[in-house]
């Protein structure tokens, strides 16, 4: 498919999605949302694809929602059209999505990165929720996901002052899984995604669902959810294959069944 604001490339079983509005530091306008929704729906539906990487440019993952597009909107426009509501659909992508962040991930850009399953950061990455400076606030889940990722103190300070966190601070705080040199970011993310895509597909989806459950439920309900999914995987052909392959000292050959 052709998209206006993103580039989509298949590298084996990995779908690489690159935000591509360099003139606006990848600011997220309605066309970006439409393109992302179409690309991730296609990714989820394509059985040859096992994991996706979402990235931006060296200078910016995304510098936020498009301020020029938002500026004139009134309450009825925002509420009536559920302006950023479509991004919730992205979070329901069943297969894993890695955010590979270099440069600015601000406002909606930081929120979009946090909607992904984990964030790999270049040493140049800068994260922030500067919406307060525009007399607004996070609107795509940033106040909630940042608080869950880094705790109340840092989330509150970031939202109230709009200051940015560099990659080292983001790693210490648990916002990103790892920091890599900027020059290696996309290759490292694609390699990590290829590793994930080489696992049995149903096990990948189950692992993603259970870690996500940790953010939606109580400990005992989450452990119960995990146990049921774990037990369920013993009904798959790939579990038989995976354990047989270990015993026979060979690589597993998955059927996705």
Catalytic status, residue 111 = yes
| One of 14, 99, 101, 106 touching ligand HXC (CB under 6 A) | 106
Alpha helix positions (H), the chain: 30-45, 67-70, 75-80, 86-90, 108-115, 142-150, 152-161, 167-173, 185-197, 201-213, 219-233, 237-247
Residue from 84, 190, 207, 238 in contact with ligand HXC (CB under 6 A): 84
Sort residue 103 into left (φ over 0), alpha (ψ -120 to 50) or beta: left
| Choices 90-98, 113-121, 134-142, 201-209; region in contact with ligand HXC by CB under 6 A | 134-142
In the bound state with ligand HXC, the residue whose beta carbon lies nearer, of 170 and 203, is 170
Q: Is 165 in the site for ligand HXC (CB under 6 A)?
A: no
Binding flag, residue 32, ligand HXC (CB under 6 A): no
Residue 166, classified by CB atoms within 10 Å of its CB into exposed (0-12), middle (13-18) or buried (19+), is middle
131, 167, 170, 173: which one is catalytic?
Answer: 131
Q: For ligand HXC, give the closer residue by CB, 50 or 138.
A: 138
24, 52, 62, 65: the active-site residue:
65
Q: How far is the CB of 126 from ligand HXC (least distance, A)?
A: 8
> For residues 192 and 98, is the Cβ–Cβ distance under 8 A?
yes
For position 155 contacting ligand HXC by CB under 6 A, the verdict is: no
β-bridge mates for residue 16, sequence order: 9, 53
The DSSP bridge partners found for residue 101 are: 121
Catalytic one of 56, 63, 111, 122: 111
Q: What are phi and psi of 95, to 5 degrees?
A: -85, 155
Residue 61 · residue 78 · CB < 8 Å: no
- Answer yes or no whether residue 56 interacts with ligand HXC by CB under 6 A: no
Q: Which one, 149 or 197, has the nearer CB to ligand HXC? A: 149
The single residue among 5, 14, 61, 66 that binds ligand HXC, judged by CB under 6 A, is 66
- Asked if residue 134 binds ligand HXC (CB under 6 A), the reply is yes
* C-alpha separations of 192 from 51, 52, 136, 196, 197 in Å: 9, 10, 36, 6, 9
Catalytic residue at 131?
yes
Positions marked catalytic? 65, 108, 111, 131
| Chain contacts with ligand HXC (rule: CB under 6 A) | 24-25, 27, 63-68, 84, 104, 106-108, 130-131, 134, 138-140
């Amino acid at each position: 498919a052709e998209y206006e604001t993103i580039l989509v490339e298949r590298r084996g079983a990995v779908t690489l999605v690159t935000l591509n509005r360099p003139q606006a530091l990848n600011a997220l306008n309605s066309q970006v949302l439409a393109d992302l929704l179409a690309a991730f729906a296609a990714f989820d539906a394509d059985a040859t694809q096992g994991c996706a990487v979402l990235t931006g440019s060296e200078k910016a993952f995304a510098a936020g929602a498009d301020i020029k597009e938002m500026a004139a909107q009134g309450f009825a426009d925002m509420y009536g059209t559920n302006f950023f509501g479509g991004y919730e659909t992205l979070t329901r992508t069943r297969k894993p999505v890695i955010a590979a962040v270099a440069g600015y991930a601000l406002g909606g850009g930081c929120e979009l990165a946090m909607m992904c399953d984990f964030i790999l950061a270049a040493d140049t990455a800068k994260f922030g929720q500067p919406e307060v400076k525009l007399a607004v606030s996070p609107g795509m889940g940033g106040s909630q996901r940042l608080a869950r990722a880094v705790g109340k103190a840092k989330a509150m300070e970031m939202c109230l002052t709009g200051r940015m966190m560099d990659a080292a601070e983001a790693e210490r705080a648990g916002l990103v899984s790892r920091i890599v040199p900027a020059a290696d970011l996309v290759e490292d993310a694609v390699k990590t995604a290829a590793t994930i895509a080489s696992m049995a597909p149903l096990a990948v989806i189950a692992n993603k669902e259970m870690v996500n459950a940790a953010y939606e439920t109580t400990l005992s309900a989450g452990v119960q959810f995990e146990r049921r999914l774990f037990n369920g995987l013993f009904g798959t052909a790939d579990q038989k294959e995976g354990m047989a392959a270990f015993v026979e000292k060979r690589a597993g050959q998955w059927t996705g069944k």
